[in-house]
Structure 1
Amino acid sequence: MPTALITGITGQDGSYLAERLLAKGYTVHGLVRRNSSTVRTRLDPLFYDKDVYNERLFLHYADLDDVTTIRRILHKTMPDELYHLAGQSHVGASFEIPESTCQFTAMGTLKLLEILRDLPTPPKFLHISSSEIFGRPDESPQNETTPMRPVTPYGIAKAFATQMTTLYRDSFELFACNAICYNHESPRRGESFVTRKITKAAAAISLGLQDTITLGSLDGRRDWGFAPDYVDAMWRILQQPAPDDYILGTGIDHSVEDFLAIAFRVVDLDWRDYIQQDPRYLRPAEVNRLLGNPSKAKQQLGWTATTQLPEIVRIMVQHDLRELQP
């Protein structure tokens, strides 16, 4: 059976992808950033499964700029597929830490590609890109040929990584692909992201644990999907006969206000009674509307984002209710 290496395996997408690949019979290796914390909450079900951990799932420790260690891991594991999900992925935080965002998100990808270029049998490579590469696009919805006009440090770093992936495919004949992912959520979304902040606040307020929620602009519109749907598309991309780039989205956009209203409706509350807005949460450069055209993924991959926003939000709020209840 095939072997896969996942960078960023402890994140939202990485944990779902690991589960998906293991269910398909893969041996899975995960690259984990070495730090002082050994908490891997999203991987706990796999970590404590004696038939999986250190039998079919193996973790390796290395930062994305640790080229020597990553090269050694790739030579040792010899994966058939490499899913590159790691990097600083918080758009708002990228304004505060632009250098490390570019170091890991942009240069980390280039360093991986350079290692693959030198391997005698390089694995198929998937870079997880972002709709943030489009910034403030002239056309809506966006497709795979929409010009990149990023307006955030994260978007700029992702645009660099996306174009490098395409360059290495064209110049060095690597099986290198981009999955241009629009926003996708789940109960495993980090609590610093606005979507999880909203669902957790709705749950906490309904339980009497919190009084208000403080947000920035509610006008931004995003194409929100469900993370487990998207990791299925990631796998499908690397099963194609030829490498290519794909938009992964639902083709439907909603505002932050819509998301807020749905979350509070799950707990039978009116969000307008609990909202506070703070200009400190506004970004220096806001992206107002991002909407993807996933028709290519539907036609070539046979993939459709099946879970719509109301169901996604309901799943997230109910998860947070279970987590917060004594």
Structure 2
Amino acid sequence: MTRALITGITGQDGLYLAELLVSKGYEVFGLIRGQNNPKYDLVRTTVPEVTLLTGDLTDVSGLVRVLGIAQPDEVYNLGAISYVAYSWENAALTSDVTGKGVLNIIEATRLYAGDDISKVRFYQASSSEMFGKVQEVPQRESTLLWPRSPYGVAKVFGHYMTINYRESYGMHASSGILFNHESPRRGPEFVTRKISQSVARIKLGLQDQLVLGNLDAKRDWGFAGDYVDAMWRMLQQPVGDDYVVATGETHSIREALDVAFRTIGVDDWSPYVGQDPRFMRPAEVDLLIGDASKAHDVLGWTPRVGFEELITMMVENDLREQSDLSR
């Protein structure tokens, strides 16, 4: 039985990946930070087959201990402070967890592997936010990185550290440069979930207005459940490498609002949506749209869920969830 360790298992990607690996017959271990973690029960309910281990990406010795217990064949590092807006408020902490945390877990993995460096494969969750002030459209694996947030800078550090360990030690280490991916499990602080949750509450009479920042921001949005399949496929390759994972389509916040409100039967959403400068980024990224040709050709990966289906899925889920909460 193949064994896998997932950091960041409490996030949407961690939960979807755990479900995928369990369905493939893996024995799965999840790293969870701190005592009385509020998401502990969520993981236990969603993927009860997973063994949870306590640890922290800022603690190398603790990570070595966790690896010794889990004895994984595959390590998926999804753990990070991943909310971009928060990274400006807490740049140092974001750097420690999202950046240096990658060094800690990949070094702990190298120490665990010992002389047999090939016995464990490593996945790093890189991000399209690394492209920031984009130097070419669409973005591919070779595109120059120009991050525009502390989060993006930290992700660049982790990305290059993964490449460095692959080249320096011969590790099977891969980075997935994932473009925006969403799901009903996305945190409500992220704009797509904020939209779906607010639209559901407006429909149910629980909320009057949705306040957002830049309505013209455009992203390449896919479904998180599709993207974790690409992660797994990377670690099944003969050698580690870097792959852009994206849909190749871009959509604006306005388009997301169109689909979300149309799901509840509203064609003109302008009376329900306001803007506030507080939700504008200090430095906005440019047009993010990924070229996933390499992932298609090498991994045999293609996204299955389209943009409209994704937004509709999220609104319908929040309608059910908010209706249950309001009873």
Coarse TM-score class (shorter-chain normalised)? over 0.9
1:61 equivalent in structure 2: 54
1:129-182 alpha-carbon deviations (Å, 9 max, x no partner) = 000000011210000000000010000000010011001100111111100000
2:89 equivalent in structure 1: 96
1:254 equivalent in structure 2: 251
Matched position secondary structure for 1:187: coil
Q: Which runs of 4+ in 1 moved over 4 A?
A: none
How many residues in Structure 1 have an aligned counterpart in Structure 2?
319
The one-letter code sitting in structure 1 at the alignment partner of 2:4 is A
1:223 shift after superposition: 0.3
* Residue 112 of structure 1 pairs with residue 105 of structure 2: yes
2:16 equivalent in structure 1: 16
Q: CA–CA distance in 1 between the matches of 2:141 and 2:39?
A: 37
Q: CA–CA distance in 1 between the matches of 2:22 and 2:34?
A: 23
1:68 shift after superposition: 1.1
Q: CA–CA distance in 2 between the matches of 1:46 and 1:321?
A: 20
Which aligned pairs between 1:238-249 and structure 2 lie closer than 5 A?
Answer: 238-249=235-246
Q: CA–CA distance in 2 between the matches of 1:74 and 1:25?
A: 20
State which of 77, 82, 88 in structure 2 corresponds to 1:84.
77
The one-letter code sitting in structure 1 at the alignment partner of 2:296 is K
1:320 equivalent in structure 2: 318
Q: CA–CA distance in 2 between the matches of 1:198 and 1:140?
A: 27
Q: CA–CA distance in 2 between the matches of 1:39 and 1:177?
A: 28
* Residue 73 of structure 1 pairs with residue 66 of structure 2: yes
Which aligned pairs between 1:143-292 and structure 2 lie closer than 5 A?
Answer: 143-269=140-266, 270-292=268-290
Residue 208 to residue 41, structure 1, CA distance change in 2 (3 Å): farther
Matched position secondary structure for 1:143: coil
Q: CA–CA distance in 1 between the matches of 2:230 and 2:154?
A: 23
Q: Which runs of 5+ in 1 are unaligned?
A: none
User: Which has the higher mean CA deviation after the structures are superposed, 281-290 or 310-319?
Assistant: 281-290
Q: CA–CA distance in 1 between the matches of 2:35 and 2:258?
A: 38
Q: TM-score, normalised by structure 2?
A: 0.95
Residue 91 to residue 139, structure 1, CA distance change in 2 (3 Å): same
1:234-288 alpha-carbon deviations (Å, 9 max, x no partner) = 0000000111000000000001111111111100112212011000111110113
2:125 equivalent in structure 1: 128
* Aligned partners of 2:134 and 2:285 also within 8 Å: no
1:22-54 alpha-carbon deviations (Å, 9 max, x no partner) = 00000000000114434335424345x5xx3xx
* Aligned partners of 1:12 and 1:42 also within 8 Å: no
Matched position secondary structure for 1:126: strand
1:30 equivalent in structure 2: 30
Q: CA–CA distance in 2 between the matches of 1:25 and 1:36?
A: 29
Alpha-carbon RMSD across the aligned residues, in angstroms, is: 1.2
Q: CA–CA distance in 2 between the matches of 1:324 and 1:161?
A: 37
* Aligned partners of 1:5 and 1:29 also within 8 Å: yes
1:4 equivalent in structure 2: 4
Q: CA–CA distance in 1 between the matches of 2:57 and 2:233?
A: 25
1:111 shift after superposition: 1.1
* Aligned partners of 2:9 and 2:30 also within 8 Å: yes
The one-letter code sitting in structure 2 at the alignment partner of 1:261 is D
Q: CA–CA distance in 1 between the matches of 2:205 and 2:69?
A: 52
Q: TM-score, normalised by structure 1?
A: 0.95
Q: CA–CA distance in 2 between the matches of 1:211 and 1:41?
A: 32
% same residue: 48
Q: CA–CA distance in 2 between the matches of 1:135 and 1:46?
A: 34
Q: CA–CA distance in 2 between the matches of 1:125 and 1:315?
A: 32
1:306 shift after superposition: 1.4
2:300 equivalent in structure 1: 302
* Aligned partners of 2:122 and 2:172 also within 8 Å: yes
